Amino acid sequence: MFRIDIDNIDGKTESLFVYGENSILAELEEHNVLINYSCRQGHCGSCILKLVKGDVLHQDCLVQLSRGEILACRAKPISDIKISLRD
Amino acid sequence: MSYTTFSHKATDSLTQPMFFGETVNVSRFDKQKFDMFEKLTEKQLSFFWRPEEIDVSKDKIDFAKLLDNEKHIFISNLQYQILLDSVQGRSPNIAFLPLVSLPELENWIETWSFSETIHSRSYTHIIRAIVNEPGAVFDDIVKTDQIIKRADSVSKNYDELIKCSQAYLIHGEGTHNINGEDVDIDLHCLKRKLYLTLVSVNILEAIRFYVSFACSFAFAERKIMEGNAKIIKMIARDEALHLSATQQMINLMRDGKDDPEMAEIAKDCESEVVEMFSEACQQEKDWADYLFKDGSMIGLNAQILKSYLEYITNVRMQAIGLSPLFPDAKTNPLPWINHWLDSDSVQVAPQETEITSYVVSGFDSNIHDMDSDLKDFAL
């Protein structure tokens, strides 16, 4: 299992434990940590998060991401990670 | 600005706004002002599918076993989607193409509208498979008051923009008599109509469609009408792309990254846009009552669908920088729908999954003493 440390997202700072089978967006929704999203397919960029620590498997997307940014709908953790909202 | 299919004027598309600049002459994609539209086109082309690839033969058996109220939900739902895709299969071309000024955006609009025609063809494929007289289903669309009421709502912004932009392209600015009515036309009011039309299209693709998707997927959650759900899943994948495109256009306009006048218009229109979202949400709630008028189905009823509508309206409003209309609707009352909407659920070939630099060592290629299986191996 992997640990997702959430740093002040939707007013929550907590840790989730996940198997890494679902997208980070799906895991956050499952645990009632709500973030903006829209297309769920990596086209719109509504669900950009900052990856503070750790590694993710990131599927292709149409959005130009800066270093350290991920799309919650396209990324799955492959190690313990820490995420926060984009500055 | 008057429309010509090939202007001889040399223009640099990098300096043009998305709409109401110079007409596009050379379809060139070597340089792009907004490469997002090129990416959207490429993605849409990679999504190409044909309804005949999906077997819906078992759906006929399932449909025959549905209760009468479930048949009403299923057929009415399809009829509504037929209406929406009939509008979307032609209107972006007619409304937006004469006004567009960027080659990559022109190309996207054509690709977008074409994909909607595949959706229309797929409804005929489904209906032919499940009912003995498909004609009756199509004929009823324009005879059903509840559908017609919403047809007016989804087409009125398009029609207004088309009417005024055609007059503008032929006669220019001024007061023109159109069908016995004097209409004042200037560029500012046309830009305003364009902005509101884009919002109306976003509402159509990002909210109205999702009511229908929820119903189709609710049947498939019960392992019935699964061929239909497979087709709707492909349609939903396309629509997610389309709604991203209208969101991009609206956000570029709102942020003043395209035409500065559009940023002012977006600000002026904000309360009108909020009202459009509110009105559409209410119409869809009325539709939910009509769908379930003879009874609910397992897993879905009018009340849950209305809660989902409030939730999805909030999501879509936030995506274009508006405050949510329904502060209490924070969580998705139909969480299972995401299984159908997430792209992971649509099978992709391994080479389509890009592994980015975030990925660390995929596997360990070192051979150690304890790997006894390889002990006798020699080159």
Whole-complex ipTM: 0.88
Which pair of structure tokens corresponds to residue B331?
A: 């969580």
Cβ <8 Å between A60 and B331: no
Active site residue B123: yes
Smallest Cα–Cα separation from B166: which of B105, B99, B100, B106?
A: B99
Reported as a single tens digit per residue, the pLDDT across B279-307 is 999 999 999 999 999 999 999 999 999 99
Position B143 pLDDT exceeds 50? yes
> How far is the C-alpha of B356 from the C-alpha of B353, rounded, in Å?
9
Name the residue among A37, A38, A40 with its Cβ closest to that of B343. A40
Instruction: Provide the β-strand partners of residue A69.
Output: A50
Residue B321, phi-psi category: left (phi > 0), alpha (psi -120 to 50), beta (remainder): left
pLDDT confidence band for B3 (50 / 70 / 90)? confident
What is the per-residue pLDDT across B247-275, written as a single tens digit (0 to 9) for each?
Answer: 999 999 999 999 999 999 999 999 999 99
pLDDT confidence of residue B343: 60
Rounded to whole angstroms, the Cα distance separating B299 from B231 reads 20
CB A62 within 8 Å of CB B259: no
The beta-carbon neighbor of B342 closest among A40, A75, A78 is A40
Give the pLDDT of residue B16.
Answer: 95
Give the pLDDT confidence score for residue B368 in this predicted structure.
65
Residues of B in contact with A67 (CB under 8 A): none
Q: Determine the Cα–Cα distance for residues B193 and B269; give it in Å rounded to an integer.
A: 10
Helix or strand (DSSP H, E) at B106: helix B103-130
Confidence of residue B184 (pLDDT cuts 50, 70, 90): very high
pLDDT score recorded for residue B325: 97
Amino acid letter, B136: A
- b/e burial code for range A28-49 (CB count within 10 A of at least 16 → b): bbebebbbbbbbbbbbbbbbbb
Predicted local confidence at residue B372, as pLDDT: 66
A82 — contact with chain B (CB < 8 Å)?
no
Answer for the pair B106, B24: CB distance below 8 angstroms, yes or no: yes
The H or E element containing residue B145 is: helix B145-171
The minimal CB distance from B247 to the residues A44, A51, A78 is found for A44
Smallest CA-to-CA distance from B154 within B65, B99, B81, B250 is with B81
The two structure tokens encoding residue B104? 């990559």
Contacts of B186 (CB under 8 A, 6+ apart): B173
What pLDDT was estimated at residue B353?
40
Contacts of A32 in chain B (CB under 8 A): 331
Residue B278 dihedral angles phi and psi, to the nearest 5°: -65, -45
Cβ atoms of B331 and B307 closer than 8 Å: no
Tell me which of A56-70, B138-152, B363-377 is least confident: B363-377
Q: Give the residues across from A12 on adjacent strands.
A: A9
By Cβ distance, the residue of B243, B354, B360 closest to A39 is: B243
pLDDT at residue B230 tops 50: yes
pLDDT band at B378 (very low <50, low <70, confident <90, very high): confident
Q: Could you give all domains of chain B from N- to C-terminal order, each with its CATH number?
A: 17-374 (1.10.620.20)
Cβ proximity of B100 and B18 under 8 Å = yes
Q: In this predicted model, what pLDDT tens digit does every residue of B301-349 receive, in sequence order?
A: 999 999 999 999 999 999 999 999 999 999 999 999 998 998 654 454 5
Count of CB atoms situated within 10 Å of the CB of B159: 14
Q: In this structure, are residues A42 and A59 in contact, taking their beta carbons and an 8 Å threshold?
A: yes
Beta carbons of A81 and B360 less than 8 angstroms apart: no
Residue B157 and residue B166: Cα distance in Å, rounded? Answer: 14
Q: Tell me the torsion sign for CA atoms B80, B83, B85, B87.
A: negative
pLDDT at residue B4 in the model: 86
CB contact under 8 A, B318 and A36: yes
B103: nearest Cα among B38, B154, B159: B38
B163-182 tens-digit pLDDT: 999 999 999 999 999 889 99
Q: Per residue, what are the HEC states of B257-294?
A: CCCHHHHHHHHHCHHHHHHHHHHHHHHHHHHHHHHCCC
Distance CA B208, CA B167 (A): 30
B32 touches chain A (CB under 8 A): no
Token pair for B148? 């017609």
| Residue A24 in contact with partner chain B when CB distance is under 8 A | no
Per-residue pLDDT at B2: 76
Query: Mean pLDDT score of chain B, rounded to an integer?
Result: 90
Residue of B71, B51, B209 whose CA lies nearest to B126 = B51
B286 to each of B75, B99, B290, B291, B368, how far by Cα in Å?
A: 17, 35, 6, 9, 68
Task: Return the CATH architecture of domain A2-85.
Answer: Roll (3.10)
Distance in angstroms (rounded) separating the CA atoms of residues B190 and B183: 12
Pick the catalytic residue from B3, B80, B123, B210. B123
Please check the confidence at residue B354 and state whether its pLDDT lies above 50. no
Digit-coded pLDDT (tens) for A3-54: 999 999 999 999 999 999 999 999 999 999 999 999 999 999 999 999 999 9
Residue B113 above 50 pLDDT? yes
How confident is residue B109, by pLDDT bands cut at 50, 70 and 90? very high
Would you tell me which residues 349-378 of chain B have a C-beta closer than 8 angstroms to some C-beta of chain A?
352-356, 358-360
Q: Cβ separation of B358 and A62 shorter than 8 Å?
A: no
